[in-house]
Structure 1
Amino acid sequence: MSDTTDHKTGRPTLADVAALAEVSRAVVSRALSPSPRPVSADKRERVLRAAEALGYRPNPLARSLTTKRTNLVAVVVNHIHDLSDLDLFDRLLGEIQAIGKQVLLLKVGSVDRVEAFLREGVAHHVDAALVWSDFADAATVRRMFRSDLVVMMNGCHDALSPAVVPDEAVGIREAVADAAAKGVHSAALVTGRASSAIEGERVASYRAAFEAEGIALAAVLQGDYSYASGRAAAAAFQHEATPDAVFCTSDAMAMGVLDACRRFFPDDRPSRFRLYGFDNLSITDHDAYPISSIGFDKAGFVEHIVRFVVHPETFVPGSPPVGVPTRFFPRATG
């Protein structure tokens, strides 16, 4: 922040307030600080009157240089292109703003992109970083944002950063058991990005559940969590020799499968194969996509994340990730 009037914008500066109040710039800074700082009542009142008369508004980024707080929280994602992101991040942004902070959203589409942030100095100093991108590990993000408070949701955490992850095995076992009880003997699995640590654990949980229920895994098809990749995978289910059930590791992919195979779901009921998704999107409660799914309490999930932002001291280095339990939500397609 400039010490003199900004001649380009005409906006008053801290120095202008100090001159009008007949105090030093240091006194103005203390008087306008959101944290209690020593300044006499008389001088504080003079500063407040001067600031109001001039229409002065403190620059939060400049103030952060002395307070060491920016009230910015970085949210690092690969992308936001499916409904599971919208369901979660709408709630997350509301809770972050409720604690008086704002969100800096960064899209990281590759490992090279993370390195570019570091090389180019694009990253900002933030109070905390919340990481979903599976291209970023905890140590890199701490360097990237020059912050020790990094909360990992992508499975790439370490002993120095807290992590919050869905405990997916329980919900997956419940969904596969539902299929087995309905006579399913073979299944296909449409998966997401192979590079994701979370996805790797999710696929392992499906394989274990299929084996436990005696269901043969007939095919594994690679997707990327998107509706388009689910619709593309559905080409494998257009002939007679389809498995008894198709499990997708995201609801968006299951929606793509359903739309491509609507003729096999008269009145939304399965006639050729049963269909299961993952995420329990809000849209699955509507008539258009009544997909049996696996989900977790998103409010509880966000609550754990925000708790680490507000009370970072509650994290003990080396602690295991906080697990948020999942459960099965039966609907028409299952």
Structure 2
Amino acid sequence: MTQNIGRDTAPTIADVAKLAGVSRAVASRALSNEPRPVSADKRERVVEAAARLGYKPNLLAQSLTTKTVNLIAVVVNHIHDLSDLDLFDRLLDQIQSIGKQVIMIRIGSVARVEEFLRNGVAYHVDAALVFSDFADAPTVRRMFRSDLVVMLNGLHDDLSPVVMPDEGSGIAEAVANAAKKGVKRAGLVTGRSSSPMEQARIGFYRQAFTKNGIELVHTVQGDYSYESGHAAAKELAGADCPDAIFCTSDAMAMGILDVCRADFPGNRPTRFRLYGFDNLSLTDFDAYPISSIGYDKSVYVEHIVDFIANPGDFHPGQPPVIVPTTYFPRLTA
């Protein structure tokens, strides 16, 4: 292949195609992030030609042709919970693997949602993934002017795809485990009261306690963070501590464990048992061997990304995709 020397204008896709010895359509497909059929040999020649010419694809032009911008909005309340790290690294990797990129939108209150709408601050995206519990499906569709809104916060409607864990099954297992070990009195450290999914989670705990004859003697509201668990330990782990403390996030359970290390020699309980939620990767290591409840995050992410990659497969009124949870016993219980 030879390269034109001394050209004054920016190289075009036609120049790349000519240098690589392929059609413009093949050159365009070879340089696209979309998974389109191009032989490995032709793709290599096109990529080499583009590099030699210094060609850069015009993303705006591509978006006008394909009707997509290859951007996915991920809407969150904030990112400070350790479970966010476990989930979002995996999610971003899988979204990028299908040729799309992510913009993170932080919405910490209902007022922020209203501000987005009031000021007309809307991004053009192919889809929105909604973890924030401050926005429902119709609102998010207006925010992004997009019909593909995958709801992950419990605020869905019939027009939105839904992926959600079946938290009741794992909670029932964990509480039954505690009952078998003689637990009669329990404490519960919860997360944000504004979250519909958290309210459902608390309901599952209450049902399981009743079913297993365990009295819920103390509830402390946290915010899923390590700091709120650390603070909750002072309320729950006194002289009259319950037989077991359940937390609706592993990060809060970690805070309690660090305050009460003296009660867990060798990480084993002496005064009360400790249960978390999320099954963080950190709980597999020696520092925080916390018994937890969780689901397969790779399966969860796979379902989310499938809605993005195959939007035409969803039909209104389709039931939520449910990912089962299970109990993971470790030393603290």
TM-score by length of 1: 0.85
> Structure 1 50/302 Cα, relative in aligned 2: closer, same or farther at 3 Å?
closer
Report the CA distance between 1:106 and its aligned residue.
1.1
Tell me, in whole angstroms, the C-alpha distance in 2 between the residues paired with 1:54 and 1:72.
Answer: 27
Tell me, in whole angstroms, the C-alpha distance in 2 between the residues paired with 1:93 and 1:11.
Answer: 36
> Structure 1 120/216 Cα, relative in aligned 2: closer, same or farther at 3 Å?
same
Report the CA distance between 1:31 and its aligned residue.
7.6
Q: Secondary structure at the match of 1:288?
A: coil
Q: Secondary structure at the match of 1:320?
A: coil
Tell me, in whole angstroms, the C-alpha distance in 1 between the residues paired with 2:28 and 2:90.
Answer: 32
The amino acid of 2:330's aligned partner reads R
Report the CA distance between 1:240 and its aligned residue.
1.2
Q: How many residues align?
A: 308
Report the CA distance between 1:117 and its aligned residue.
1.9
Tell me, in whole angstroms, the C-alpha distance in 2 between the residues paired with 1:185 and 1:118.
Answer: 50
Per the alignment, residue 105 of structure 1 pairs with: 104
Report the CA distance between 1:62 and its aligned residue.
4.4
Report the CA distance between 1:51 and its aligned residue.
7.7
> Structure 1 49/216 Cα, relative in aligned 2: closer, same or farther at 3 Å?
closer
Per the alignment, residue 283 of structure 1 pairs with: 282
Report the CA distance between 1:53 and its aligned residue.
7.8
Tell me, in whole angstroms, the C-alpha distance in 2 between the residues paired with 1:51 and 1:273.
Answer: 64
Tell me, in whole angstroms, the C-alpha distance in 2 between the residues paired with 1:51 and 1:297.
Answer: 41
Per the alignment, residue 211 of structure 1 pairs with: 210
Question: Is residue 328 of structure 1 aligned with residue 327 of structure 2?
Answer: yes
Tell me, in whole angstroms, the C-alpha distance in 1 between the residues paired with 2:125 and 2:277.
Answer: 32
Per the alignment, residue 42 of structure 1 pairs with: none
The amino acid of 2:125's aligned partner reads V
Question: Is residue 143 of structure 1 aligned with residue 142 of structure 2?
Answer: yes
The amino acid of 2:309's aligned partner reads V
Report the CA distance between 1:309 and its aligned residue.
0.7
Tell me, in whole angstroms, the C-alpha distance in 2 between the residues paired with 1:249 and 1:153.
Answer: 17
Query: 2:191·2:198 contact (CA, 8 Å) conserved in 1?
Result: yes
Q: Secondary structure at the match of 1:151?
A: strand
> Structure 1 216/145 Cα, relative in aligned 2: closer, same or farther at 3 Å?
same
Per the alignment, residue 130 of structure 2 pairs with: 131
Identity of aligned residues (%): 65
Query: 1:291·1:333 contact (CA, 8 Å) conserved in 2?
Result: yes
Tell me, in whole angstroms, the C-alpha distance in 2 between the residues paired with 1:176 and 1:238.
Answer: 19
Q: Please, which runs of 5 or more residues in structure 2 have no aligned partner?
A: 1-7, 18-23, 35-46
How do residues 153-302 of structure 1 correspond to structure 2 at under 5 angstroms? Answer: 153-302=152-301
Tell me, in whole angstroms, the C-alpha distance in 1 between the residues paired with 2:9 and 2:91.
Answer: 34
Q: Secondary structure at the match of 1:323?
A: strand
Q: Secondary structure at the match of 2:293?
A: strand
Report the CA distance between 1:239 and its aligned residue.
1.8
> Structure 1 12/181 Cα, relative in aligned 2: closer, same or farther at 3 Å?
same
The amino acid of 2:283's aligned partner reads T
| CA offset digits 1:277-312 (Å, max 9, x no partner) | 000000000000000000001111011111111111
Tell me, in whole angstroms, the C-alpha distance in 2 between the residues paired with 1:60 and 1:328.
Answer: 46
Per the alignment, residue 115 of structure 1 pairs with: 114
Report the CA distance between 1:136 and its aligned residue.
1.2
Tell me, in whole angstroms, the C-alpha distance in 1 between the residues paired with 2:221 and 2:237.
Answer: 17
Tell me, in whole angstroms, the C-alpha distance in 1 between the residues paired with 2:48 and 2:261.
Answer: 68
Query: 1:11·1:56 contact (CA, 8 Å) conserved in 2?
Result: no
Tell me, in whole angstroms, the C-alpha distance in 2 between the residues paired with 1:318 and 1:257.
Answer: 42
Tell me, in whole angstroms, the C-alpha distance in 2 between the residues paired with 1:18 and 1:122.
Answer: 37
Tell me, in whole angstroms, the C-alpha distance in 2 between the residues paired with 1:55 and 1:289.
Answer: 51
- 4+ aligned runs moved over 4 Å, structure 1: 28-35, 48-54
Q: State the Cα RMSD in Å.
A: 2.7
Q: Please, which runs of 5 or more residues in structure 1 have no aligned partner?
A: 1-9, 22-27, 36-47
Per the alignment, residue 313 of structure 1 pairs with: 312
Report the CA distance between 1:316 and its aligned residue.
2.0
Per the alignment, residue 304 of structure 1 pairs with: 303
Query: 1:171·1:294 contact (CA, 8 Å) conserved in 2?
Result: yes
> Structure 1 329/50 Cα, relative in aligned 2: closer, same or farther at 3 Å?
closer
Mean Cα displacement is larger for which, 136-145 or 113-122? Answer: 113-122
Tell me, in whole angstroms, the C-alpha distance in 1 between the residues paired with 2:112 and 2:246.
Answer: 32
